[in-house]
């Protein structure tokens, strides 16, 4: 595939992610923050996010697995995850966290488990999508091209 | 990180602003760092609040502004905020993904100069320098109370910010040279560069703050003033202005603390962790007086008076003079047992005098003298034992229960006297009523014989009369330990009592003076304070203190009492408060 095509594909792909609400404007902000002094900024931040969020998800799962569930603790973790996902623009994950916090308020273990599932799903989804995105970018750079500065064209 | 004094200023402000970012989320930390760097700021990141505090303490004056997340595992963001404000006096910006009004409110209350919602935009970060600048201006103004401000103003207003710290250029501001802390800053820091005439902000280290607090306590909260504190502290490089602005902050801090002490049933004095004596607490506005150690009845004075006019009022000696003062000056030795505060019943305090004056016509049936002796010295207000006794009368009468007369048209809020008598624990059901009267049995004994004499006074049947709009003067048997409530109530009671006394047969109780704004009773205070249980009425038996208050109240009422709180806010206050 030639460079132009790859770049086209990337643009298209990125746009779809925004359209589907998987990513929001924050991600764009991150991309705009990236510059020559920090060419891998976005990748680094996103990696940090996944590292942190995976831990959080495990903590939540463990907390819900207790005999007597400490909902405050669960809520605290979810709140953290919400903040983190907001940082990278993982909109759907963030929304799932909001729903999750409601379940925590209701102190319903079943509901919480369901919410956790939802969050995990969204988390997995955005992870895959971003990995694809980065791969595309890498291909472009490898092919000698540059990744165009993201624009919100929609 | 920060390169020392000169570096940030060598570039054009606000570039080079030294920012400390605190956030437990590594992702956010990285993003913020990047964003701040894009603004040409000097960034230091920190994942833990405690670590942040250490950094700040290590490098005093090493940062210009702190940005912190609200939710952090090791320390509440608000706590950090307070610490930074008190110790380092740096502007702090809070951040959170949670933008609920209550949270934002809390942030502001704790002293945050801004509250940002995540995700944060670049444009928001670009302007954070304004907080730094604003603070500088205010500091300069503080310093320049006595000095000419013109030069600074001109330079600030006129000049471009591209100049080196305009306001900091010492040459322009002679005042800087006068600032002793300037030199000291140099000493504290190992800076070889002394060319900078930058104004060094005083960093209030823990030690320094301790000295400050000690001085404040010594002087007495309500008597406190920057000059006095400065003298006591004996820190050569510190200036009056430094102390003044720190004092202001301290007051706010205490106020905040107080508000948080919902637990304290009583008015809750200001909890000064640093302030051992209640006295000082009294100094801090009303709250302080209220929050002062409830445990220490002796401190009642502080408690009551605190900022309330009360404090002053209570002090027979002072009351005349302190009428206006909101911040009462608790006696430095607030720790004195109540008795100490309460003048010997036999004493005739000025307050009594005032009372006497006012009630000259009273000549009531009440046999005041009788009570004198009986009045235990427990009253925190310990003023005018005589007056107290008079009040006592009334109070006693009321407490005794079975007082049937109710002044017409006087809504009464009764507080179960039973409670009072049984223990001092009045569960103060009355939120806004400072009902604090605990009536000791000994009073009762006194009362009985006098009862007849007091017939004329309307008495509340066994109820503490909570203050409320109208109060029955008689019912104000106030042993209220709650300084706050007591204060008001006492006063109101006193007044009402006085009025009543004047026309015993005519039990009309004029609404308590509106002047008596039990401002402090209002709102938080009231709610919190009315927890009688908190009050430790150790020496309850002394009705004397109650009397004090009324007297003072009387005086204050007649004079223009300045209530720190907007009277309109406190509906209850209007009528005065009964302190039972």
Among B27, B69, B98, select the one facing A48 at the smallest CB separation: B27
Distance (Å, rounded) from C-alpha B309 to C-alpha B562?
7
Same domain, B24 and B112: yes
CB-based contact, B48 to chain A, within 8 Å: no
Whether residues B30 and A48 touch (CB distance < 8 A) is answered with yes
Structure confidence at residue A113 (pLDDT)? 92
Q: With 70 as the cut, is the pLDDT of residue A134 above it? A: yes
CA distance A4 to chain B (A): 30
Three-class SS of A43-68: HHHHHHHHHHHHHHHHHHHHHHCCCC
The answer to whether position B133 is within a domain reads no
pLDDT at B102 over 50: yes
CB-based contact A79 B38, cutoff 8 Å? no
A45 in contact with chain B, both atoms CB, cutoff 8 A: yes
Chain B residues in contact with A87 (beta carbon < 8 A): 25, 27-28, 31, 118-119
Q: Check residue B292 and report its DSSP letter.
A: S
Confidence (pLDDT) at B145: 63
Pick the closest to residue B219 from B144, B279, B149 (CA basis): B279
pLDDT higher than 90, residue B394: no
Q: Are B398 and B477 in contact (CB under 8 A)?
A: yes
Environment class of residue B568 by beta-carbon count within 10 Å: exposed (0-12), middle (13-18) or buried (19+)?
A: exposed
More confidently predicted of B13 and A54:
A54
What is the arithmetic mean of pLDDT over B218-243?
A: 82
- Region of A21 on the Ramachandran plot (φ > 0 left; ψ -120 to 50 alpha; else beta): left
pLDDT at position B237, please?
A: 81
Between A9-18, B131-140, B356-365, the lowest mean confidence (pLDDT) is in: B356-365
Q: Which residues in chain B are contacts of A79 at CB distance < 8 A?
A: 71, 97-98
User: For the segment B442-473, what is each residue's pLDDT rounded down to a tens digit?
Assistant: 443 343 444 444 444 443 444 333 333 443 44
From the list A44, A82, A83, which residue is nearest B30 (CB)?
A: A44
Q: How confident is the model at residue B210 (pLDDT cuts 50, 70, 90)?
A: confident
Residue among B64, B51, B59, B17 at smallest CA distance from B37: B17
In a domain, B139, yes or no: no
Cα–Cα distance list, B496 to A100, B68, B318, B411 (Å): 58, 52, 22, 13
A39 inside 8 A of chain B by CB? no
- Domain presence at residue B51: yes
List of chain A residues whose C-beta atoms are within 8 Å of the C-beta of residue B98: 79
CB contact A123 to B (< 8 Å)? no
B30–A86 CB contact, under 8 Å: no
B28 touches chain A (CB under 8 A): yes
Higher pLDDT, B18 or B532: B18
Q: Does A89 touch chain B (CB under 8 A)?
A: yes
Q: Please state the ipTM of this predicted complex.
A: 0.92
Beta bridge partners of B117: B96
- The number of folded domains in chain B is 2
**Chain B residues inside the 8 Å CB shell of A88:** 27
Report whether pLDDT(B376) > 80.
no
Q: Which residue of B has its CA nearest to A48?
A: B27
Domain that holds residue B75: 18-126
Cross-chain Cβ contact A89/B34 below 8 Å: no
Q: Which of B24, B27, B119 sits opposite A45 (nearest CB)?
A: B27
User: In which band, very low, low, confident or very high, does the pLDDT at A60 lie, cut at 50, 70 and 90?
Assistant: very high
User: Phi and psi for B424 in degrees, rounded to 5?
Assistant: -80, 10
Which residues of chain A lie closer than 8 angstroms to B30, CB-CB?
44-45, 48
**CA–CA min distance A52, chain B (Å):** 8
> Is there a domain that residue B422 lies in?
no
In this structure, of A99-113, B7-21, B525-539, the range with the lowest mean pLDDT score is B525-539
| Residue B240: predicted pLDDT | 84
- Span B346-355, mean pLDDT? 40
pLDDT at A56 over 80: yes
Residues 6+ apart with CB under 8 A from B340: B298, B333, B377, B382
- Measured CA to CA, the distance from residue B359 to residue B439 in angstroms comes to 24
Percent of chain B with pLDDT over 70: 33
Q: What is the mean pLDDT of residues B357-377?
A: 39
Residue A52 sits at the chain B interface (C-beta within 8 Å): yes
Distance from CA of A2 to the nearest CA of B (A): 33
Q: What is the Cα–Cα distance from B237 to B219, expressed in whole angstroms?
A: 21
Chain A nearest-CA distance from B41, in A, is 15
Of B27, B38, B96, the CB nearest to A84: B27
Asked if B38 lies within 8 A of A33 by C-beta distance, the reply is yes
Indicate the Cα dihedral angle A101, A102, A103, A104, nearest 10°: 50
Model pLDDT for residues A75-124, shown as the tens digit of each residue: 999 999 999 999 999 999 999 999 999 989 898 889 999 999 999 999 99
Judge: B118–A49 Cβ closer than 8 Å, yes or no: no
Rounded to whole angstroms, how far apart are CA atoms B306 and B251? 12
Nearest of B250, B286, B281 to residue B525 by alpha carbon? B286
**Could you give the count of Cα atoms lying within 13 Å of B224 in the half-sphere of its Cβ?**
35
**Distance to chain B for A16, nearest Cα, Å:** 22
Do the Cβ atoms of A30 and B71 come within 8 Å? no
- B485 pLDDT band, cuts 50/70/90, is very low
How much is the pLDDT for A152?
A: 54
- Boundary residue ending a domain (B89, B107, B126): B126
**Is pTM, for the whole model, over 0.95?**
no
Beta bridge partners of residue B530, listed in sequence order? B266
The confidence score (pLDDT) of residue B13 equals 77
Task: For residue B39, tell me if it sits in a domain.
Answer: yes
Given B126, B141, B164, the domain boundary residue is B126
Please name each of the domains of chain A with its CATH number.
1-143 (1.20.120.160)
Q: Tell me: do B23 and B122 sit in the same domain.
A: yes
A43 vs A30: CA distance, rounded Å: 10
Is residue B31 assigned to a domain? Answer: yes
Contact A83/B118, CB-based, under 8 Å?
yes
C-beta of residue B539 within 8 angstroms of C-beta of residue B337: yes
Angle between helices B240-260 and B226-233 (to 10 degrees): 100
3-class SS letters over B354-379: HHHHHCCCCCCCCCHHHHHHHCCCCC
- Yes or no, beta carbons of B121 and A29 under 8 Å apart: yes
Torsion sign, CA atoms A90, A93, A99, A102: negative
Please count the residue pairs, one from chain A and one from chain B, whose beta carbons lie less than 8 angstroms apart. Answer: 51
- Contact state of A79 with B97 under an 8 Å Cβ cutoff: yes
Q: Are B311 and B484 in contact (CB under 8 A)?
A: no
| b/e sequence A22-54, b meaning 16+ C-beta within 10 Å | bbbebbbbbbebbeeeeeebbbbbbebbbebbe
* Candidates A29, A48, A86; nearest CB to B26: A48
CATH code for position B23: 3.40.50.2300
- Distance separating the N- and C-terminal Cα atoms of chain B: 60
d(CA B29, nearest CA chain A) in Å: 10
Interchain pair B118, A88: CB under 8 A: no
Residues of chain A contacting B121 with CB distance shorter than 8 Å = 29
pLDDT digits (tens, 9 = 90+) for B120-142: 988 899 899 999 998 888 878 87
CB A84 to CB B98 under 8 A? no
Alpha carbon of A81: minimum distance to chain B alpha carbons (Å): 9
Count CB neighbours of B56 within 10 A: 24
Closest CB from A44, A45, A87 relative to B119: A87
| CB count in 10 Å sphere of residue B535 | 36
- Compute the distance between CA of residue B113 and CA of residue B90 in angstroms, rounded to an integer: 10
B119, B120, B121, B125, best to mutate vs chain A, most A CBs in 10 Å? B119
Do the strands B413-416 and B463-466 form a parallel or antiparallel pair, or are they unpaired? antiparallel
Whether A88 and chain B come into contact, CB under 8 Å, resolves to yes
Which distant-in-sequence residues (6+ apart) come within 8 Å of A58 by Cβ?
A: none
pLDDT for res B147: 56
Residues B281-312 pLDDT 10s: 333 333 333 333 444 434 444 433 333 333 34
Tell whether B121 lies on the interface with A, counting CB pairs under 8 A: yes
pLDDT of residue B264: 60
Cross-chain Cβ contact B27/A38 below 8 Å = no
Distance between CA atoms of residues A154 and A40, nearest Å = 25
In a domain, B256, yes or no: yes
- The secondary structure of residue B324, as a DSSP letter, is T
Average of pLDDT values for B553-562? 43
Supply the CATH number for residue B210's domain.
1.10.10.60
On the question of pLDDT at B487 being above 80, the answer is: no
Name the domain boundary from B62, B97, B126: B126
For residue B178, being part of any structural domain is answered with: no
Where are the strands (E) in B151-296, listed by range? none
Please write the tens of the pLDDT for every residue from B252-266. 888 877 777 765 655
């Amino acid at each position: 595939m030639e460079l132009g095509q790859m770049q086209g594909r990337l643009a298209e792909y990125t746009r779809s992610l925004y359209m589907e609400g998987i990513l929001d404007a924050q991600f764009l902000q991150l991309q705009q923050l990236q510059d020559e002094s920090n060419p891998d900024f976005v990748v680094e931040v996103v990696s940090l996010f996944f590292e942190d969020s995976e831990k959080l998800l495990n903590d939540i799962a463990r907390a819900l697995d207790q005999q007597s569930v400490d909902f405050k603790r669960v809520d605290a973790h979810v709140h953290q995850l919400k903040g983190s996902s907001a940082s990278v623009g993982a909109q759907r994950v963030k929304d799932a966290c909001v729903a999750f916090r409601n379940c925590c308020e209701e102190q319903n273990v079943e509901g919480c488990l369901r919410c956790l599932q939802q969050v995990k799903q969204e988390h997995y989804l955005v992870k895959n999508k971003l990995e694809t995105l980065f791969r595309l970018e890498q291909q472009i750079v490898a092919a000698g091209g540059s990744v165009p500065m993201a624009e919100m064209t929609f | 990180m920060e390169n020392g004094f000169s570096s940030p200023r060598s570039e054009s402000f606000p570039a080079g602003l030294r920012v400390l970012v605190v956030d437990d989320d590594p992702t956010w930390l990285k993003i913020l760092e990047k964003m701040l760097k894009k603004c040409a700021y000097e960034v230091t990141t920190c994942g833990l609040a405690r670590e942040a505090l250490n950094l700040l303490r290590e490098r005093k004056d090493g940062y210009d502004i702190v940005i912190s997340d609200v939710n952090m595992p090791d320390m509440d963001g608000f706590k950090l905020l307070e610490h930074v404000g008190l110790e380092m006096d740096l502007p702090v910006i809070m951040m959170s993904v949670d933008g609920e009004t209550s949270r934002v409110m809390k942030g502001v209350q704790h002293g945050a100069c801004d509250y940002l919602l995540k995700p944060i935009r670049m444009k928001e970060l670009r302007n954070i320098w304004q907080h730094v600048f604003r603070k500088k201006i205010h500091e300069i103004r503080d310093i320049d109370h006595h000095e000419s401000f013109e030069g600074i103003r001109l330079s600030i207003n006129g000049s471009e910010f591209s100049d080196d710290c305009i306001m900091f250029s010492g040459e322009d501001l002679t005042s800087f040279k006068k600032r002793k802390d300037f030199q000291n800053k140099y000493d504290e820091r190992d800076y070889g560069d002394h060319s900078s005439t930058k104004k060094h902000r005083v960093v209030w280290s823990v030690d320094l703050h301790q000295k400050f607090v000690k001085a404040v306590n010594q002087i007495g909260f309500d008597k406190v003033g920057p000059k006095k504190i400065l003298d006591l502290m004996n820190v050569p490089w510190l200036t009056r202005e430094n102390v003044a602005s720190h004092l202001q902050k301290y007051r706010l801090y205490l106020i905040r603390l107080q508000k948080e002490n919902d637990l304290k049933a009583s008015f809750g004095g200001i909890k000064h962790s640093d302030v051992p004596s209640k006295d000082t607490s009294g100094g801090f506005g009303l709250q302080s007086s209220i929050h002062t150690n409830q445990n220490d009845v002796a401190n009642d004075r502080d408690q009551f008076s605190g900022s309330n006019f009360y404090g002053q009022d209570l002090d027979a000696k002072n009351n005349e003079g302190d009428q206006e003062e909101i911040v009462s000056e608790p006696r430095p030795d607030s720790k004195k047992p109540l008795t100490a505060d309460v003048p010997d019943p036999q004493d005739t305090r000025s307050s009594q005098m005032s009372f006497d004056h006012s009630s000259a016509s009273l000549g009531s049936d009440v046999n005041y003298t009788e009570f004198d002796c009986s009045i235990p010295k427990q009253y925190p207000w310990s003023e005018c034992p005589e007056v107290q006794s008079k009040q006592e009368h009334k109070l006693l009468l009321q407490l005794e229960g079975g007082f049937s007369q109710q002044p017409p048209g006087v809504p009464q809020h009764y507080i179960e006297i039973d409670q009072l008598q049984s223990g001092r624990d009045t569960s103060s059901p009355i939120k806004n009523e400072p009902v604090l009267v605990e009536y000791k049995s000994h009073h009762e004994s006194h009362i009985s014989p006098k009862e007849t004499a007091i017939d004329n006074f309307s008495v509340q049947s066994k109820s503490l009369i909570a203050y409320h709009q109208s109060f029955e003067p008689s019912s104000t048997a106030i042993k209220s330990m709650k300084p706050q409530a007591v204060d008001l109530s006492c006063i109101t009671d006193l007044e009402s009592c006085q009025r009543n006394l004047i026309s015993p047969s005519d039990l009309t109780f004029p609404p308590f003076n509106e002047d008596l704004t039990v401002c402090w009773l209002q709102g938080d205070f009231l709610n919190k304070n009315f927890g009688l249980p908190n009050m430790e009425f150790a020496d309850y038996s002394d009705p004397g203190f109650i009397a004090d208050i009324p007297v003072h109240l009387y005086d204050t009422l007649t004079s223009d009492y300045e209530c720190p709180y907007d009277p309109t806010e406190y509906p209850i206050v209007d009528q005065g408060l009964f302190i039972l």
